[in-house]
Amino acid sequence: MAHEFPPAHLRDPGDAWVYGPNGQKFWGKFGAAGLLVWNRDLGVLLQHRAEWSHHGGTWGLPGGARKLGESALDGALREAAEEASVPPELLRVIDTVILDLGFWSYTTVVVEAAEQFQPVIADAESVALEWVTPALVDELPLHPAFATAWPQLRTLLRF
């Protein structure tokens, strides 16, 4: 059965495409945010994206469209909880990195998990969730935007 993007039960007013001046499309009427979760012992938490999603089949961060009035931090935490059951009480914010295109923005919130936890697939957007050592991230087929951002994001992790 083919899936529409996104499934109807996931829709919110912010769940819409935004088109740039060159026709390129970006998900999230109010911008988007993702959570880069890092644990010193386990590595970084990555999401293998469902085939029906934008750039499906690639690896990236739990994240998605922000809701109207929602901060990037709140959006990233909500999306990570919805998609991967990430417990916000275990997280400490390290930094944020913002890609601002003027008409749309994506904020990556980089956090450290103080304790180990087992991520759990909590919706249809994930095929798998894995802890990956930073040295092996580049070996995966990455979401194009995450692949571009990864070199900068990696420098924020405190080994």
How many angstroms separate the CA atoms of 88 and 81, rounded?
Answer: 8
Mean pLDDT of the region 9-25: 85
Structural domain boundaries in the chain: 16-152
pLDDT for 10 beyond 70: no
Q: With beta carbons less than 8 A apart as the criterion, state whether 84 and 130 touch.
A: no
pLDDT tens per residue, range 72-93: 999 999 999 999 999 999 999 9
Does pLDDT of 3 surpass 50? Answer: no
User: What's residue 5's pLDDT?
Assistant: 53
CA dist 100 to 26, 31, 144, 155, Å? 12, 9, 16, 20
State the burial class of residue 39 (Cβ atoms within 10 Å of its Cβ: 0-12, 13-18, 19+): middle
- Percent of the chain at pLDDT above 90? 82
What does the pLDDT look like over 105-131, one tens digit per residue?
A: 999 999 999 999 999 999 888 999 999
Work out the end-to-end distance of the chain between its first and last CA atoms, rounded to an integer number of angstroms. 43
Q: What is the pLDDT of residue 125?
A: 87
Rounded to whole angstroms, the Cα distance separating 134 from 44 reads 7
The dotted CATH code for 16-152 is: 3.90.79.10
Per-residue pLDDT at 95: 97
